[in-house]
Structure 1
């Protein structure tokens, strides 16, 4: 039998001296391996990690696959709405002031009052004008009296005088004719000289001329004044009437009336203040020292509509107005004016659109911010899908359609108008498909529907 090698216990016994019995006793026990101890410690941690990975990754993925949402493609009606920001502004706004400078005598309204067109707002001091009016009225009365005098005047007395004078001339003519006849007989008999006869003849001719003159004067007296004199007198009356009207108009201007119905916005002057004329377009700050008050008419909405949407806006279009000051309350109006010239602010082009806004309770105030939604039209009986279902694959727009096997297939579509969360499908779908609303991770690359306002 061959010799077997000594075991490790025996070798240790041969090498170690007898003086170390305790050390020999320890070496007699078998050694434990360190890696085995680490393995026992690692196993529990590996189990905990696997459990956590399963709960946090594997289980959610399986649940996501089981919870993929779909929607039925169906026909519907889409209401096209164009939104824009705007402000409340009065349709008309003026600063009320007199036509001429003067002292404010009386103010009949206060801020916030509603006034009607033509209503008296204030009185100016017109004492100086009243004196001028009395003087002008006196001049008018004198001009009218002169006209009556020229047209009729003392006609009967003048005619009587002309008649008496004519009678005297006729009597003198008869006397000179008698003298001429006597002198003519004496001249024929040679009793008087030729010179005496010529003198009698000249005297008779002068008497005849005077009769003709007096007869013409009587005719003129009976006919009245000349037309030129009458026209001049009438012109003087017209001038006097014009002066009275001018002064009366100035007095009327001292009474300030509302040019249109509206609300008193601000008061700038009190009775006793000196005010001057201002233009209706003056700003409030420049008008405070000269105007009396500001007047604003019924409010309107002035909105800025983008260039891309202005083609959908038309006169009479219904609009829904939402005011920031009244959350949840809506006002309804109609488009009354569309600007023909654009406004460019910070390279953004927009058009001003004015909308009426009935407000019987006077809730809206000038300067308030509002949001306007214009109902631009409707797309009736069109195929629609949720906007979130539209994706792009290889630069092609489409949707994932669920199949009978629990999977899905990508179907290209032609998208139309998008309204809120729904998009029109012009082609690609029939109308009975189920489209995916949720997608496995990494399958949805782009969601970019186009079209619509």
Structure 2
């Protein structure tokens, strides 16, 4: 009797287990499916930083001691504004010496010019005297010897005149050299003043008065305020649709609750060979009040909008290669796998199904792969 009861209980348990297994394995499963959505934006995401297209670290072209610093961090300075000066005393002495050299060269040129005038007068007198002596010797009124002496003196005077002209050329060259030296020293003195090369925002003041500077050593870091942009790095697998002029949204790390609108102004022509990312520059249309160079930003570029689309999460697609993959569908009340093509990817990692005769619009496509999915299992779309 006890054995019969035990066998009956075991049979009931077996039947229950079999029924449970059937329920778990073969009962129709409710499948969440993709619904058509309207006006779907397609965006590409990138991380980057705030940069400046026009940026410069400026300093003096000559060495010296920094005497004055007239601008500071955060100042906006028009082009030509004096920003700093070097101690000028030593260079002013060089300029004074060069000016004295010019005056000396001018005096030397004047002296040589006077000597030239004298030599010219003497040459003219000697020629006239030689002419008269030749005429007198021809008439027998003077000796031939006196005529020859006069001719020799005329030739010597002509040679002196040529020498004086050469001396004048040397004096003029010396004056030009002295003037060039003076110009060089005055130019060097002008380089003791540092001016803004463009309308700029002072990002950093790098040196203080009293510092000894070498040529080219930076004193200020400047940027052109109108040249600020966001430099974003975008996965090259997503960057193919990005073009200049597309709208974009920029979010700063320091202002996470605000969105700044902008447009793509440059797309890099060279990808990073290590990170496989492309550089995309976005210029803001509504800019933050005081951007900070190097601050991290998030950039979303809108590459298009889909009037209508069925979206499937990428996690529900098997073998996705960037353009196609396999999806689960509910066909005639059974689960089947079909090849599907995709035309876009949204920021939330959903893929837009392409219009394909092999995958009709009324064929339900699963948006989540559940445990127990297999070919042929009974299924129905979830309400």
Fold in common (TM above 0.5): yes
Instruction: Give the unaligned 5+ runs of structure 1.
Output: 1-34, 36-56, 182-202, 280-290, 446-453
1:100 aligns with 2:62: yes
Instruction: Report the Cα distance in structure 1 between the residues aligned to 2:118 and 2:216, rounded to whole angstroms.
Output: 60
Candidates 280, 304, 308, aligned match of 2:237? 308
Match of 2:340 in 1: 414
Match of 2:204 in 1: 266
1:246 aligns with 2:184: yes
| TM-score, L = length of structure 1 | 0.61
Candidates 85, 89, 97, aligned match of 2:51? 89
| TM-score, L = length of structure 2 | 0.70
Candidates 286, 305, 313, aligned match of 1:387? 313
CA shift digits 1:252-300 (9 cap, x unpaired): 1100012333322222333333333345xxxxxxxxxxx4333234433
Matches within 5 A, 1:133-148: 133-147=95-109
Candidates 332, 335, 342, aligned match of 2:272? 342
Contact 2:327 2:366 survives alignment (8 Å): no
Match of 1:397 in 2: 326
Q: Which has the higher strand share?
A: 2
1:373 aligns with 2:300: yes
Contact 2:264 2:280 survives alignment (8 Å): no
Deviation, structure 1 residue 133: 1.1
CA shift digits 1:67-113 (9 cap, x unpaired): 87655447x56544221211223334444332222222222111111
Instruction: Report the Cα distance in structure 1 between the residues aligned to 2:364 and 2:207, rounded to whole angstroms.
Output: 72
Q: Which has the higher helix share?
A: 1
Aligned partner of residue 153 in structure 1, secondary structure: helix
Task: Choose between structure 1 and 2 for higher RCO, CA contacts under 8 A separated by at least 6 residues.
Answer: 2
Match of 1:207 in 2: 146
Deviates more, 1:418-427 or 1:168-177: 168-177
Aligned partner of residue 290 in structure 2, secondary structure: coil
Distance 1:156 1:351, change over 3 A: closer
Instruction: Report the Cα distance in structure 2 between the residues aligned to 1:257 and 1:213, rounded to whole angstroms.
Output: 66
Distance 1:83 1:313, change over 3 A: same
Instruction: Report the Cα distance in structure 2 between the residues aligned to 1:304 and 1:398, rounded to whole angstroms.
Output: 31
Contact 1:343 1:352 survives alignment (8 Å): no
Aligned partner of residue 292 in structure 1, secondary structure: strand
Deviation, structure 1 residue 125: 1.1
CA shift digits 1:108-129 (9 cap, x unpaired): 1111112233321011111121
Deviation, structure 1 residue 341: 5.5
Distance 1:226 1:319, change over 3 A: farther
Instruction: Report the Cα distance in structure 1 between the residues aligned to 2:255 and 2:237, rounded to whole angstroms.
Output: 29
Instruction: Report the Cα distance in structure 1 between the residues aligned to 2:312 and 2:138, rounded to whole angstroms.
Output: 133
- Between the two proteins, the alignment pairs up a number of residues equal to 340
Instruction: Report the Cα distance in structure 2 between the residues aligned to 1:250 and 1:68, rounded to whole angstroms.
Output: 82
Contact 1:173 1:204 survives alignment (8 Å): no
Deviation, structure 1 residue 423: 2.0
Distance 1:425 1:265, change over 3 A: same
Instruction: Give the unaligned 5+ runs of structure 2.
Output: 3-19, 320-324, 376-383
Instruction: Please report the RMSD computed on the Cα atoms of aligned residues, expressed in angstroms.
Output: 4.2
Deviation, structure 1 residue 134: 1.9
Distance 1:256 1:229, change over 3 A: same
Match of 2:114 in 1: 153
CA shift digits 1:396-415 (9 cap, x unpaired): 82343487xxx566472413
